Amino acid sequence: MKALYALYSDPDAAQRAVNSLKLSGGSLGIGERQIVVVSSEPFDGYDFSDEHSQTRIFLIASLGGICGALLGLLFVRFTQFVYPLPTGGMPIAPHWTNGIITYETTMLGAILTTVVTLLVTAQLPHFGPRLSDPEIWQGKILVGVTDPPEKARPELEKQLRLAGASQVKTV
C-alpha cells in the first residue's frame, strides 16, 4: 500500500485537511474511500468522525435478541416435549420457568450479535497492511490518502501542509 499522509495536533486542523482533500479529490482523481483518518481516540463532534456515526447496529442487536429468544424457547420446549420428565400433573413446558431461560438467551443473542456486527462493520480482524504512525499514540491525528496518483502528489502535499501539517510523510 502506498500512501501520503500528515499528522495534526488538533482535530480542527485534521478537519480542514479532510475538507480540502474532499473538495479537490475529484479533480485529482481521488475517491472519498482513499481519504484515511486515523486517531488514538474517538473525536465526536467533527465531520470527519460523525459522517461514520450512522449505524444499524442497534437494530441488528435487537434482531439478534429476538433470534436468541426464539432459539432458546424452541430448545427448551423441544427438550421438554421430546424427553418429558414426570411433573406430578404440572405443565410439561411451564411458561414461567421457560421465560427465565428465554430471557437469558435473548440477552445472549443480542450481545453476541452486537459483537459480530462490530467485527464485521469495523472490518476486524484485519492483519493486512494498514496506514499508521507511532506519533498517533502521542495524540496526533493522521490524515492521508492511500494509493494516490503520482501526478497528484505535489498538490496533495500542498493541501495537507496548508491545513496545518508541518511535515508530510509517504509510505
Binding mask 20-59 for other proteins (x = CB under 8 A): ----------------xxxxxxxx----xx-xxx-x-xx-
How far is 150 from 157, CA to CA, in rounded Å? 11
Q: Which span (20-28, 115-123, 145-153, 154-162) binds other proteins, by CB under 8 A? A: 115-123
Binding mask 76-95 for other proteins (x = CB under 8 A): x--xx--x-x-x------x-
Assess contact for 63 and 113: CB atoms under 8 A. Answer: yes
Footprint of other proteins on residues 137-166 (CB under 8 A)?
A: 137-140
SS3 call for 48: helix
Asked whether the bond before 125 is cis by omega within 30 degrees of 0, the reply is yes
Note whether 15 binds other proteins by CB under 8 A. no
- The distance of closest approach from Cβ of residue 93 to other proteins in the complex, given in angstroms and rounded to an integer, is 8
Q: DSSP of 101-159, one letter per residue?
A: HHHHHHHHHHHHHHHHHHHHHTT-S--S-----GGGGGT-EEEEEES--GGGHHHHHHH
Residue choice 112, 155, 161, 168 for contact with other proteins (CB under 8 A): 112
- The distance of closest approach from Cβ of residue 87 to other proteins in the complex, given in angstroms and rounded to an integer, is 8
- The distance of closest approach from Cβ of residue 66 to other proteins in the complex, given in angstroms and rounded to an integer, is 13
Residue 151's CB is within 10 A of a number of other CB atoms, namely 9
Partners of 36 in the β-ladder: 144
Q: Which span (22-30, 125-133, 152-160) binds other proteins, by CB under 8 A? A: 125-133
- Grid cell of 27 as nine digits: 479533480
User: DSSP label at 96?
Assistant: H
Give the residues lining the site for other proteins (CB under 8 A).
9-10, 36-43, 48-49, 51-53, 55, 57-58, 61, 65, 75-76, 79-80, 83, 85, 87, 94, 97-98, 100-101, 103-105, 107-108, 110-112, 114-115, 117-119, 121-128, 130-132, 134-140
